[in-house]
């Protein structure tokens, strides 16, 4: 299986009609790439380079840089085993058959 890196994606959009709309679009789009693990946090796995570029382009098109914030924190493969989860949840993984 091709190794895929795990990223923690944190975001913040302002309250209000415009920010709420951008947030909703962002969440809907990001769900296609990962799992929402908390209200403003996703776990996303990097897959193919073209998909990854498309993800970043779309995110940038949704944001107003002076108002919104999205951060990607990479976790190396060897760090995943050290992630502590208290309560419900597990680390997002992709089925090995996903890659062809």
pLDDT of residue 91: 66
Measure the CA–CA gap between 45 and 74, rounded to whole angstroms.
Answer: 9
CATH number of 6-88: 3.30.70.240
Cut 0.75: pTM above it: yes
Domain ranges of the chain: 6-88
Q: Kindly indicate the confidence band of residue 5, based on its pLDDT and cuts at 50, 70 and 90.
A: confident
pLDDT tens figures, 32-64? 999 999 999 999 988 888 989 999 999 999 999
Residue 4 banded pLDDT, cuts 50, 70, 90:
low
pLDDT tens track for 85-98: 666 666 656 554 44
63-73: pLDDT as tens digits: 999 999 999 99
**22 CB-side CA count, 13 A:** 20
């Amino acid at each position: 299986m091709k190794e895929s890196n795990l990223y923690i994606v944190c975001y913040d959009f302002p309250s209000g009609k415009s920010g709420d709309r951008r947030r909703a679009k962002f969440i809907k789009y990001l769900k296609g790439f990962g799992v929402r693990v908390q209200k403003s946090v996703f776990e996303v796995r990097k897959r193919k380079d073209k998909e990854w570029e498309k993800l970043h382009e779309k995110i940038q098109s949704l944001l107003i840089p002076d108002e919104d914030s999205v951060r990607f924190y990479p976790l190396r493969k060897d760090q995943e085993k050290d992630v502590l989860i208290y309560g419900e949840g597990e680390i997002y993984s992709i089925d090995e058959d996903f890659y062809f």
